[in-house]
Amino acid sequence: MRGAGLWQLGQSITRRVAQGDKKAVARRYFASEAELKRTVLYDFHVANGGKMVPFAGWGMPIQYKDSIMDSTLNCRQNGSLFDVSHMCGLSLKGKDSIPFLEKLVIADVAGLAPGTGTLTVFTNEKGGSIDDSVITKVTDDHIYLVVNAGCRDKDLAHIEEHMKAFKAKGGDVSWHIHDERSLLALQGPLAAPTLQHLTKEDLSKLYFGEFRILDINGAHCFLTRTGYTGEDGFEISVPSEHAVDLAKAILEKSEGKVRLTGLGARDSLRLEAGLCLYGNDMEQHVTPVEAGLTWAIGKRRRAEGGFLGAQVILKQLEEGPSIRRAGFISSGPPARSHSEIQNEKGETIGEVTSGGFSPCLKKNIAMGYVKSGSHKAGTKVKIIVRGKAYDGTVTKMPFVPTKYYKPS
């Protein structure tokens, strides 16, 4: 399922359940439930009112008892706890793990200080995006990374294929896929004070993008100060046997202010933060430069290249891409994925990749790709929704200011 439909799906389920049409919901959304994988928190979600839907081969909560609108606002005002255990964490180890990974991604991994990380992109030979990933340099011979659930199979096959060739030439690198761990994302202004109750480590000294291995609620965890909402927060990799207890402890220590939150609100939060969703806003044919992720290409990598598709990407850096990702605010009904974007003359200049109603701004927001030159803030456009043109304006992203915890 593509993320652009998550908000719509959540609203549809809410309406049908409210109307008492639970059988129709079950037929339409849960028909393949027996085939879906489940995280260790599945029963915990159901017990807490989670409405479970198929997502990337997993049964995941789209929302709980509160609406997606309320969940989104609560994350920004208090906090949210997300189960993101469907995502795939893995470690690369060995003295050559950094040069190996740098053949596959655009980041300057060698230039990262131990215990720090960055967003990066796995590229193909044409410079397109295989997946985006947060990678962390734990030590000079240990890299920890998380890849998207929907891309897991192709990502792992891609890494394995290149690893075999690399090792055949004498390279020292191995990997471990952390299927024994679960992943929780704790986001919002109460994330740090709540989590501080559960660890002896001083979290005020852990800044955005930094990583630690530490004990939380008695479990040996990987902790990264990062997230997908634009808020301050953490992603916590916890041994699966401790995941439910950790989730309960977080909710208890927040005195009910941090709430379990589903994929519907996660989608509206990341859209408000101007963050890409792979499969919508990034694809195999879209380069990091076109996606507005030029900042993620390390300075040394721009000079040296050495990653797949470098020739295409470095040429785009020099000459500029023909299309660019941009943000929009529009009138009328919310724009959705594949809505056509026109200039004021009625000429097609691009299309929307993600869109919805912003619970925080009370406006329609969207992102998409337009021809270079039409991407500048303030440019007037028309967005076609259900065959009718509505006024739109190119707007700088993020739509809602980010609140990442950085040194002052």
Query: Strands 181-187 and 233-239, how do they pair?
Result: antiparallel
Q: Measured between alpha carbons, how far is 194 from 85 in angstroms, rounded to an integer?
A: 21
Say if residues 130 and 290 touch (Cβ distance below 8 Å).
no
Contact 155, 122 (CB under 8 A): yes
Residue 304 per-residue DSSP state? H
Unique residue bearing structure tokens 């037929």: 27
3-class DSSP string for 310-371: HHHHHHHHHHCCCEEEEEEEECCCCCCCCCEEECCCCCEEEEEEEEEEECCCCEEEEEEEEE
- Distance (Å, whole) CA 251 – CA 25: 29
Residue 10 to residue 7: CA distance in whole angstroms: 5
Contact predicate 63/14, CB 8 Å: yes
- Measured CA to CA, the distance from residue 140 to residue 251 in angstroms comes to 36
Are the C-beta atoms of 330 and 368 separated by less than 8 Å? Answer: no
The backbone torsions φ and ψ at residue 314, rounded to the nearest 5 degrees and listed phi first, read -65, -35
Check the annotation: does 340 bind a ligand.
Answer: no
Q: Measured between alpha carbons, how far is 362 from 400 in angstroms, rounded to an integer?
A: 11
Q: What angle (nearest 5°) sits at the alpha carbon of residue 74, between those of residues 70 and 76?
A: 125
What residue numbers does the annotated binding site for substrate cover? 235
What residue numbers does the annotated binding site cover? 235
